[in-house]
Amino acid sequence: MDDKIEFTKNYTDHSTDNGFQFEFFCDRCGTGYRTHFVPYAAGTITSALETAGSLFGGVFNSVANASQNVKSAGWQKAKDNAFIAAAQELKPDFVQCPRCSTWVCKKSCWNTQRGLCKNCAPDMGVEMAAAQASRTVEEIWEHSKVAEDDRAMLKEENWRAGARATCPNCNAPLEKNVKFCPECGAAIKPDKFCSNCGAKLQPDAKFCPDCGTKQA
């Protein structure tokens, strides 16, 4: 077994005094793989001696302390061996990108055709589909905005008159239906139409001369 430990960052140590377990995860998507728990026999013995020491004291306390000292070296060595075995077990599920050096999972984040991770060499099909979906969403929101603007305009009492494109006094462009010109301050007086039949009315007309409807 190769004693070199290649995984140095993308893992979490779940080991305890009684055994060893590690979880390795992808630097790109965070997908994790956890190894099976490997019991540590000496840890069980130490726990039993500590329990006996707390109950009886004396010689059991001395034995438990000695076991702790032995465990500090033995446990660490056993942990290193367990880690190396775990890394070898899960290494086939990960690839280190030669460009950015990150460890990524083969399942979702490795571009086999390019020989690079998908951060360095994105999947063009996926990116195209995502771009198309994003554009569709933008168009939906744009159309929704236009519809909302239309509904707001229809709620205005003078919607039939419409909005003038320019000021009748200074010819400055008008972005929307306003009462006064933002450039010269002149009053904007759009044509008045009957609310019932749409006939053009005089500015001060109270009734429509065509259908007789009272004007607001």
At residue 156, the pLDDT reads 54
Residues 210, 200: contact at Cβ < 8 Å?
no
Whether the model clears a pTM of 0.85, i.e. scores above it, the answer is no
Whether 70 and 106 map to the same domain: the answer is: yes
At residue 151, the pLDDT reads 63
Whether 175 and 74 map to the same domain: the answer is: no
At residue 163, the pLDDT reads 58
At residue 171, the pLDDT reads 83
- In a domain? residue 72: yes
> Which positions of the chain have pLDDT values less than 70?
1-8, 42-71, 145-164, 175-176, 190-191
At residue 154, the pLDDT reads 56
Count of domains observed in the chain: 2
Residue among 128, 201, 134, 117 nearest 161 (CA): 201
At residue 119, the pLDDT reads 93
Whether 113 and 182 map to the same domain: the answer is: no
- In a domain? residue 132: no
Q: Kindly list the distances between the CA atom of residue 133 and the CA atoms of 123, 136, 141, 149, in Å, as whole numbers in the listed order.
A: 15, 5, 13, 25
Whether 191 and 88 map to the same domain: the answer is: no
**Burial environment of residue 134 by CB neighbours within 10 A (0 to 12, 13 to 18, 19 or more):** exposed
- In a domain? residue 204: yes
Expressed in angstroms, the distance from the first to the final Cα of the chain is: 93
Whether 15 and 120 map to the same domain: the answer is: yes
Beta bridge pairs of residue 110: 117
| Structural domain containing residue 165 | 152-216
Residue among 135, 178, 136 nearest 153 (CA): 178
What is the biggest distance separating any 2 CA atoms in the chain, rounded to whole angstroms? 117
At residue 50, the pLDDT reads 47
Q: Last residue of some domain: 124, 143, 176?
A: 124
